[in-house]
Amino acid sequence: EILMQEHLLIQEVLDAIERGAQRLGSGTDTPKEFFLEAADFIRGFADETHHKKEEGVLFPALAQYGFSLHAGPVAVMLSEHEEARRFTQALAEAAQKLHRGDPSAREDLIMYALSYARHLRQHIMKENNILFPMADRVVPEAEAARIEADFARVERDEIGADAHPKYPALARKLKDQMS
């Protein structure tokens, strides 16, 4: 449930990223910091918060119930997380170049933004419709409660309590800028 709620927030930012890329493609500028802040959200929330919970808590717990980390749905998710990180790095680099005034970065930024959004939407769909329902079927309720407690611990101890309120506010800002 927690991860699916986080997916909703991530999808709002994906909507904004797609609108920003479409604006750039049509020759309309976006706010100067938009894609830099979008990259910050992606790194800080989608990867360092959300994926950290999956990779550090959920996936190891699923391995205890017979899911392989090297084949099958968990392995696919791990591979897709790595691919998302590559897209994020490329998007951030293009955003920095455009921010510094390099107009040649515009097309790269559009391509990476749309590719990242498409990739992550497909990834979220797989988790929401395949992996999470499978996990719900095999993980006992007591273990699910422990997993949720571990998510809170990761957020508090590894990510930092101040990070959690930052990202919903940043998501709203990005969404509002593209409305």
Give the mean model confidence (pLDDT) for residues 149-166.
84
Band of residue 165 on the pLDDT scale cut at 50, 70, 90: confident
Specify burial of residue 104 (Cβ count, 10 A radius: 0-12, 13-18, 19+).
Answer: exposed
Q: Would you mind telling me the total number of residues written for the chain in this entry?
A: 179
Q: What is the total count of domains within the chain?
A: 1
Q: In this model, does residue 162 exceed pLDDT 80?
A: no
Neighbours of 179 (CB within 10 A): 8
What is the domain extent for residue 92?
2-177
Percent of the chain exceeding pLDDT 70 equals: 100
What would the mean pLDDT of 63-92 be, rounded to a whole number? 97
DSSP string, 39-78: HHHIIIIIIIIIIHHIIIIIHHHHHHTT--SSSHHHHHHH
For 101-131, what is each residue's pLDDT tens digit? Answer: 999 999 999 999 999 999 999 999 999 999 9
CATH number for 123: 1.20.120.520
Predicted TM-score (pTM) of the model is 0.94
**Predicted confidence band of residue 57 (pLDDT cuts 50, 70, 90):** very high
